[in-house]
């Protein structure tokens, strides 16, 4: 057991504070009972700072901290392309896609697809997202989180999973999205503090107590290959991040799908007070994304110098946490638990939202009362967690790099999802049959590429499958002609105006990113 009594005390104090905040913000006014709007969309009352913090907290979890730090250990700073390009993606989503979603007043992404196409597309995609969030996202977060708890406390991984589930469910099942979003503010503070402590002490040890600046310079001298942002074909990690195509190819598809059409991410913006608050929140998240490599990737690179004999790359971040003195170790461990609990609560809330609104209310009980919908949502979240506990180790335990496992598996479906939404937005003739064609062909083509063309990096595969899905969907649309009418989105009816503050923020993100890439290139 690595933690001592002081560290455990910090963790307990953090847990109690978080639960208090959750129940305080979740309390109902006298005589008011939570309805679906309250539970799933936080009564559409979230301010920009809560949206931005919640977006980052939902995104950065065990698979991000432990998994991306592991990729930093194995690959280097090039893995930060996910984070840096996400900043631009957030600006694009806020400007062009978010106004459409908010104008439609939707609860879920499948609901939007029914508005645009038909009920078949809604049901198929709802089932897909439920499976993805439960069998890939929840299982990955639980497995990596319990692995860290097992290393630090010395308990069996099953008990770690149970603790994480009980902790995250203690407030999210009761309070819904509002409890999740508002406690995420505390979670982000803990996450940043914990990550900075780990990076600071790791760099200071590399420099021999000469400071972080000297430590960073020494790190670049000892492991210069870890700071290549664009990998060449002779790099052993090229298959994970295939050179310049990362910046112009499949990573764009991955990012647009994740930040624009991912229920447990976009649900925060759907719960905003208004479009201005939603856009400012996403801009705030974009700025925070620029600093994530410092607290997530850098510790992994430090581990490549300080701990060269790790059995698996995913052990890098927990190994660097051991550098912290007791007390600060408790803070960093609480930050890790915070990130895990935040993502678990976010995912479970989105699973419950999709099942309740797109499956239960749509197909099973169309006349369900508000009380019944909230009950079904809570029950669904609990069932999903139980399934994830059972399947976490069998599904994720065999992967060497959990972050890459998640990305590659998700990449089977991502091209089709992006085609469905982009065609829905920008081509009025696109039909439900073309949407279903894109969804099915995305999985089939990705699988064929993986079997028969394994030498193609998965990031390039995502880009190629996206192009092929576009072609197939276009052919089906044109062959269908007037036989199948779709509910075209009239973009002329949607306001794409943004505030001057948002425009300035967008320019700032682009300039900072340009400076970063110019420096590292």
| Rounded Cα–Cα distance for residues 199 and 335 (Å) | 14
Q: What average pLDDT does the structure give for the chain? A: 82
| Rounded Cα–Cα distance for residues 262 and 239 (Å) | 25
SS3 labels along 191-242: HHHHHHHHHHHHHHHHCCCCCHHHHHHHHHHHCHHHHCCCCCCCCCCCCCCC
Q: How far, in Å, are 124, 478, 483 from residue 430 at the CA level?
A: 17, 8, 12
Measured in whole angstroms, the distance separating CA 47 from the mean position of its chain's CA atoms is 20
Which tens digits make up the pLDDT trace of 107-152?
Answer: 788 888 888 888 888 898 899 888 888 888 888 888 878 877 887 7
What is the pLDDT, as a whole number, of residue 438?
A: 93
pLDDT of 164 over the 80 cut: yes
Lowest-confidence pick of 25-34, 142-151, 218-227, 434-443 = 25-34
Structure tokens, 327: 């007390």
User: Rg of the chain over CA atoms, in angstroms?
Assistant: 22
Please tell me whether residue 46 adopts helix, strand or coil conformation.
Answer: strand
What is the pLDDT, as a whole number, of residue 48?
A: 86
Structure tokens, 322: 């051991």
| Rounded Cα–Cα distance for residues 454 and 456 (Å) | 5
Model confidence band, residue 517 (pLDDT cutoffs 50, 70, 90): low
Structure tokens, 222: 């000892």
Q: Beta-carbon neighbour count of residue 14 at 10 Å?
A: 20
CB within 8 Å of 122: residues ≥ 6 apart: 110, 111, 113, 114, 358, 362
pLDDT of 349 over the 90 cut: no
- For residue 498, the 8-state DSSP code is -
Length of the chain counted residue by residue: 521
What is the pLDDT, as a whole number, of residue 40?
A: 65
pLDDT of 36 over the 80 cut: no
Q: What percent of the chain has pLDDT over 70?
A: 86
> Helical H runs in 322-428?
328-354, 370-396, 402-410, 414-426
Which tens digits make up the pLDDT trace of 265-288?
Answer: 888 888 888 888 888 889 989 988
Q: Beta-carbon neighbour count of residue 455 at 10 Å?
A: 7
| Rounded Cα–Cα distance for residues 413 and 125 (Å) | 10
Torsion of CA 25, 56, 254, 138, to 10 degrees: -60
Cβ–Cβ < 8 Å for 149, 14 = no
Nearest to residue 355, comparing CAs of 335, 388, 384? 384
Which tens digits make up the pLDDT trace of 59-97?
Answer: 777 667 877 888 889 888 888 888 888 888 999 998 888
Please tell me whether residue 92 adopts helix, strand or coil conformation.
Answer: helix
Cβ–Cβ < 8 Å for 195, 296 = yes
Cβ–Cβ < 8 Å for 343, 357 = no
CB within 8 Å of 351: residues ≥ 6 apart: 130, 133, 134, 138, 380, 381, 384
Lowest-confidence pick of 79-83, 174-178, 246-250, 419-423 = 174-178
Which residues, listed in sequence order, are joined to residue 272 by a DSSP beta bridge?
A: 46
Torsion of CA 374, 376, 377, 381, to 10 degrees: 140
Q: Which residue has the tokens 């933690």?
A: 3
Report for 268-272, 404-408, 464-468: range of highest mean pLDDT: 464-468
Which H/E stretch holds residue 65?
helix 62-74
Which H/E stretch holds residue 392?
helix 370-396
pLDDT of 486 over the 80 cut: no
Burial class (CB in 10 A: 0-12, 13-18, 19+), 23: middle
- HSE (CB half, 13 Å, CA atoms) of 404? 22
Model confidence band, residue 47 (pLDDT cutoffs 50, 70, 90): confident
| Rounded Cα–Cα distance for residues 338 and 271 (Å) | 22
What is the pLDDT, as a whole number, of residue 53?
A: 85
Over range 49-61, report the average pLDDT. Answer: 82
pLDDT of 447 over the 80 cut: yes
Cβ–Cβ < 8 Å for 23, 173 = no
| Rounded Cα–Cα distance for residues 196 and 202 (Å) | 10
Nearest to residue 61, comparing CAs of 328, 388, 374? 388
Model confidence band, residue 471 (pLDDT cutoffs 50, 70, 90): very high
Q: pTM of the predicted model, to two decimals?
A: 0.83
């Amino acid at each position: 057991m690595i933690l001592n009594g002081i560290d455990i005390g910090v963790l307990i104090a953090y847990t109690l504070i978080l639960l208090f905040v959750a129940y305080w913000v979740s309390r109902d006014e006298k005589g008011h009972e939570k309805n679906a709007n309250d539970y799933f969309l936080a009564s559409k009352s979230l301010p920009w700072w809560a949206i931005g913090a919640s977006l980052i907290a939902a995104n950065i979890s065990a698979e991000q901290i432990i998994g991306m730090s592991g990729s930093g250990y194995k690959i280097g700073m090039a893995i930060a392309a996910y984070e840096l390009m996400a900043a631009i993606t957030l600006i694009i989503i806020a400007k062009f896609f978010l106004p459409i979603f908010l104008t439609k007043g939707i609860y879920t992404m499948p609901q939007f697809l029914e508005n645009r196409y038909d009920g078949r597309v809604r049901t198929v995609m709802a089932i897909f997202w439920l499976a993805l969030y439960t069998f890939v996202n929840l299982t990955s977060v639980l497995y990596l989180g319990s692995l860290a708890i097992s290393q630090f406390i010395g308990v069996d991984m099953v008990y770690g999973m149970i603790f994480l589930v009980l902790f995250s469910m203690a407030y999210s099942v009761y309070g819904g999205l509002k409890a999740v979003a508002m406690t995420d503010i505390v979670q982000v503070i803990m996450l940043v503090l914990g990550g900075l402590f780990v990076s600071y002490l790791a760099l200071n040890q590399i420099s021999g107590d000469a400071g972080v600046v000297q430590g960073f310079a020494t790190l670049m001298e000892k492991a210069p290959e870890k700071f290549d942002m664009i990998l060449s074909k002779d790099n052993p990690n090229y298959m994970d991040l295939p050179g310049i195509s990362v910046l112009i190819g499949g990573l764009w598809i991955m990012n647009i799908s994740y930040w624009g059409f991912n229920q447990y991410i976009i649900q925060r913006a759907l719960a905003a007070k208004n479009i201005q608050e939603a856009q400012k929140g996403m801009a705030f998240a974009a700025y925070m994304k620029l600093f994530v490599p410092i607290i997530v990737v850098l510790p992994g690179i430090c581990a490549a110098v300080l701990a060269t004999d790790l059995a698996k790359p995913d052990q890098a971040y927990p190994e660097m946490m051991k550098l912290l003195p007791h007390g600060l170790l408790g803070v960093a461990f609480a930050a890790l638990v915070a990130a895990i609990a935040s993502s678990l609560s976010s995912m479970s809330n989105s699973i419950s939202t999709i099942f309740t609104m797109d499956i239960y209310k749509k197909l099973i009980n169309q006349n369900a009362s508000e009380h019944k919908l909230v009950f079904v949502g809570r029950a669904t979240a609990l069932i999903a967690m139980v399934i994830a506990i059972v399947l976490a180790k069998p599904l994720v335990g065999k992967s060497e790099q959990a972050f890459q496992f998640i990305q590659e598996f998700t990449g089977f479906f991502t091209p089709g999802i992006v085609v469905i939404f982009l065609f829905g937005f920008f081509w009025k003739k696109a039909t439900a049959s073309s949407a279903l064609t894109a969804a099915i062909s995305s999985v089939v083509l990705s699988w064929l590429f993986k079997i028969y063309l394994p030498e193609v990096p998965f990031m390039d595969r995502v880009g190629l499958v996206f192009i092929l899905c576009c072609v197939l969907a276009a052919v089906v649309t044109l062959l269908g002609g007037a036989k199948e009418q779709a509910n075209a989105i009239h973009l002329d009816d949607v306001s794409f105006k943004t505030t001057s503050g948002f425009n300035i923020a967008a320019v700032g993100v682009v300039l900072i990113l340009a400076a970063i890439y110019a420096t590292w290139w």
